[in-house]
Amino acid sequence: MPLINVIPGEKIPTAPLNTRLPIWRIPGWLLLFVWLARGTARSVVLTVRYWWITGPAFAGAWVSGSYGWKVALGVALVLIVAGCTWWRLHPSTWLRFGWYPVVGRVRRLWVYRRGWTAAMTACGLVGVHGGGRWVPRLLTVRSNKWGDRVTVRLLPGQHPDDWATAAPRLAYTFCLREARAFTTDRPDRMVLHFVRRDPLAALVGPLPVPEVPDFAGLALGVREDGDPYRLRLTGSHVLIAGATNSGKGSVVWSLLRSMAAGIASGVVEVWAFDPKGGMELAAGGPLFARFAYDDPDSMAGVLEEAVKRMKSRAARLRGLTRQHVPTADDPLIVIVIDELAALTAYLTDRKVRDRIKESLSLLLSQGRAVGIRVVAALQDPRKDVLPFRDLFPTRIALRLTEPEQCDLVLGDGARDRGALCDEIPETMPGIGYVVLDGVREPVRVRFSYLNDDDIAELAVMYPRPQIGGDR
Ligand SMILES: Nc1ncnc2c1ncn2[C@@H]1O[C@H](COP(=O)(O)OP(=O)(O)OP(=O)(O)O)[C@@H](O)[C@H]1O
């Protein structure tokens, strides 16, 4: 094993048989000995590496040899019946600890390991060093209902972007339609998510309403790996960008639903602005402490009221705490704006527009510490439409019309890292990309969908408390 110039990969043999003439004459018995030693070592390595095949095979052979084939068959049947019972009684643990580990191992061997060198070569992920060619090492394959997570070790000189670019081609190489590359907490490893079945293909219905909303993780939908998507509202404003009919409404309603118990208990106060005449949000009227939808002048007035409240709260909390904690007496104020550009860009009355812009800038820049959050939806994310886009720490990009808009919403390079918002089909509303804390690559998400009946039910079951007034 070399101690210098170590390449953490597998060397591709130059030829299956070495046909060069040897410089020294090697006696036949020595050659035979070397081949035998190599063969034995390789067999031991393979036996240990594929213990999940060799173990049961040896055990079966031993039982059959010692007690006869009928006993071996009986033991196999008992094991099968035990597996089926486990599956029937507790399917989730059976799938997690019994079935998917086997699927992962079989797919590692049969799908990925078999075609690995060819796939790496064809997709340009092979490294060259000292006249030899090296392929990245395939470490583990973990499978679940939706796909495979393949962990690989990077070769020297490789960058995560190389894998992000190659991922779509790798997917087709392994006979799948979609793959995305994600960095891990170790800089020398990447995880490739190969999608076998899209968990986002089916509509996600309304999610359960938590009794106490967890502002650090409000469940709004499902992620591409099948886990729930949780939005962190603590200390963050949220921007939702998407073309018309992309499902911006479903993000807003999913968020309202996840906070509904807080609205009913008075811990959350929602101020809703619907500049499109109240069409989108009117059904949730009983949930809102303020609902402005008619003329821009009154909306500017309500925003100024929010600024006043923010300033008085800041004066009250100054020196006492650095972060507001919502209570029924001092609630979290969530300002929901459907179509932000209607307030900031498309308004013809310049005076009102300037008042609105000023209030919004103040709320966005100073509201987070004192428990005021802005959640705004936007159709056109171009720079001139939204001057204060950078004041929204959390951004959600649904279907967008142009590739450049993905970077405008999620940040530079987001599209190269996999946020293909412009490729989301129109037939899949409610799907978008988000950037999760500590994850470099944007993650695909489908938000839950509330139909008109669900919204009406929500408004009836979780109305805001009737006591109140400015606090
Ligand atoms: N999460 C979702 N899952 C499935 N279907 C959805 C989802 N969200 C929205 N839809 C469908 O897409 C349609 C448009 O959704 P929505 O009104 O929320 O889009 P929008 O982006 O707010 O549009 P606009 O900008 O015109 O207001 C809805 O009528 C609904 O049929």
Query: Which pLDDT band, with edges at 50, 70 and 90, does 226 fall under?
Result: confident
Q: What does pLDDT average to over the chain?
A: 87
Ligand 1 center from residue 245 Cα (angstroms): 5
The response to whether residue 245 sits with its C-beta less than 6 Å from ligand 1 reads yes
Ligand 1 in reach of 379 Cβ (< 6 A):
yes
| Strands lying side by side in the sheet with 372-378 | 228-231, 218-223, 443-447, 431-434, 394-397, 238-241, 372-378, 332-337, 268-273, 288-292
Q: What is the ipTM of this complex?
A: 0.96
Q: Which residue has the higher pLDDT, 391 or 278?
A: 391
> What's the pLDDT tens digit per position in 426-470?
998 999 999 877 677 888 999 999 999 999 999 999 998 876 544
Phi first, then psi: what are they for 61, rounded to 5°? -65, -40
Q: Is 248 close to ligand 1, i.e. is its CB under 6 Å away? A: yes
Residue closest via CA to ligand 1's atom 6 equals: 429
Instruction: Please tell me if the domain spanning 90-195 has the same topology as the one spanning 218-461.
Output: no
- pLDDT higher for 107 or 417? 107
| CA 27 to ligand 1 center in whole angstroms | 78
Residue whose Cα lies nearest atom 2 of ligand 1: it is 430
Question: Which token pair is 43?
Answer: 């067999």
Nearest Cα to Cα of residue 158 among 205, 124, 200:
124
Per-residue pLDDT at 248: 92
Pick the CATH number of 90-195 from 1.10.10, 3.30.980, 1.10.357, 3.30.160: 3.30.980
Q: Which residue has the higher pLDDT, 223 or 345?
A: 223
The response to whether residue 213 sits with its C-beta less than 6 Å from ligand 1 reads no
Mean pLDDT of 345-358: 83
Going by alpha carbons, the residue nearest to atom 11 of ligand 1 is: 429
Q: Is 244 annotated as a binding residue?
A: yes
Distance between CA atoms of 404 and 336, rounded to whole angstroms?
A: 26
Give the position, in ligand 1's atom list, of the atom nearest the Cα of 254: 1
Bridge partners of residue 151, in order along the sequence: 140, 191
Pocket test for ligand 1, best of 207, 229, 245 (most atoms within 8 A of CB): 245
Tell me: domain 218-461, CATH 3.40.630.30, correct?
Answer: no
DSSP code at position 9: E
Angstrom distance (rounded) from CA 178 to CA 197 = 9
Distance 189 CA to ligand 1 centre (A): 38
pLDDT of the residue at 470: 42
Domain boundaries, the chain: 90-195, 218-461
pLDDT band at 350 (very low <50, low <70, confident <90, very high): confident
The whole-number pLDDT of residue 296 equals 82
- Identify which has the larger pLDDT, 317 or 59: 59
**pTM (two decimals):** 0.77
Distance 200 CA to ligand 1 centre (A): 15
Q: Each residue of 113-124: pLDDT tens digit?
A: 998 999 999 999
Most confident of 5-14, 97-106, 271-280: 97-106
